[in-house]
């Protein structure tokens, strides 16, 4: 839960950035700032909790 501690979103009318700067995992439903989550070689965010990668299609 220490990842949530540094999650400081400045509410200054820029709500569109809030969605883009946070990573919410569909697998374990964790929410972390995009700046603190690791990224794989393709540039997709990787969940720091369950290692889920947000790769859309990996079936080619």
DSSP state for residue 45 in the 8-state scheme: B
Q: Establish if 42 lies at the interface with Zn ion (CB under 5 A).
A: no
Which of residues 3, 22, 46, 52 is near Zn ion by CB under 5 A?
52
| Spatial CB neighbours of 37, under 8 Å, sequence gap ≥ 6 | 3, 23, 45, 46, 47, 48
Q: Which is nearer to Zn ion, 9 or 31 (CB)?
A: 31
Smaller CB separation from Zn ion, 9 or 50: 50
Q: How many residues does the chain have?
A: 60
* Closest approach of Zn ion to the CB of residue 37, in Å: 10
């Amino acid at each position: 839960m220490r990842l949530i501690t540094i999650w400081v979103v400045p509410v200054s009318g820029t709500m569109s950035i809030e969605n883009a700067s946070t990573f919410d995992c569909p697998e374990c439903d964790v929410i972390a700032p995009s700046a603190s989550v690791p990224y794989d070689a393709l540039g997709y965010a990787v969940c720091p909790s369950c290692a889920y990668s947000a790769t859309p299609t990996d079936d080619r």
